[in-house]
Amino acid sequence: MVTGGSSGIGAAAVRMFADLGATLVIGYHGSEDRAKALAETLPTGRHTIAKLALETPATFAVLADELKAKFRKVDVLVNSAGYTQAIPHANLDKLDDSLFEQILIANVRGPYSAIRVLAPLLRASGDGVVINVSSISGFTASGSNVAYCASKAALDNMTMSLGRALGPEIRFFSVSPGAVATDFVPGRDRSALEAGARTTPLRRVIEPDDVSSAIVACVTHLKASTGTRIVVDGCPCRKLNLAGN
């Protein structure tokens, strides 16, 4: 199950898991056509799409019932859906209370809602894995806005808490990219990504496939880890004022 699976990092993860033989449920919010088009490109299987609203937990409950009836279990949940706006950190007027809450709901409560209702199906897997797509903004406090940074810090903390609470049946990871070559942050173009990449040791732009490779590795290789953060940003000690994931 991949929330936000119709584009960006989520879509890259969908394609990579499908190539490995997984059956995918592609969660989407506003673009049913894009989700359908992606599903049609995947290797033959029982792939489905599901409309989800991060702010409406009931949509996850309905999905859980459908997945239980169809599959009896969920092996992997990738929480890739999220929301942000590019707002300078000093502009407190533009980041008003309503927008702050909206970002927290999308980036923290939304993933929690998915985890909470799918936990029984993840336990039924015998080796369930949850990957929360976070950001280096959660620990650098440098990102698209103050609320976004706070939301990713909260997501990382929640990942640690749930890794402790729900083991050994379910493993938890935060995969934390730096600036990724997607359209997630409005106004961030390729030239900005390339300029930032030149200041890192690896000097390369982080692509969605780089992040999805880390996501897959959490499932297939990091069997003795849980509640931990996997950083994908090409830099061991980033202190740049770039928009986060």
Could you read off the pLDDT of 38-66 as tens digits, one per residue? Answer: 999 999 889 999 999 999 999 999 999 99
pTM score of the predicted model? 0.90
Amino acid at 175: V
Q: Do residues 84 and 184 lie in contact, with contact meaning Cβ atoms separated by under 8 Å?
A: yes
Rounded to whole angstroms, how far apart are CA atoms 118 and 1?
10
pLDDT tens track for 128-158: 999 999 999 999 999 999 999 999 999 999 9
| Per-residue confidence (pLDDT) for residue 184, from 0 to 100 | 63
Q: What is the pLDDT of residues 1-41, one digit of tens each?
A: 999 999 999 999 999 999 999 999 999 998 899 999 999 99
Please give the pLDDT value at position 8. Answer: 93
Contact 85, 99 (CB under 8 A): yes
Q: How confident is the model at residue 239 (pLDDT cuts 50, 70, 90)?
A: very low
Handedness of CA 53, 54, 58, 62 (dihedral sign): positive
Which amino acid does the sequence have at 177?
P
The pLDDT confidence band at residue 188, using thresholds 50, 70 and 90, is low
Q: Does domain 73-232 bear CATH number 3.40.50.720?
A: yes
Q: Which pLDDT does position 187 carry in this prediction?
A: 63
Q: What is the pLDDT of residue 242?
A: 39
Q: Per the omega criterion (within 30 degrees of 0), is the bond before 168 cis?
A: yes
- CA quadruple 72, 21, 63, 212: dihedral sign: positive
Q: Which amino acid is at 205?
A: V
Domains of the chain by residue range: 73-232
Active-site amino acid positions:
148
Q: Residue 120: pLDDT above 60?
A: yes
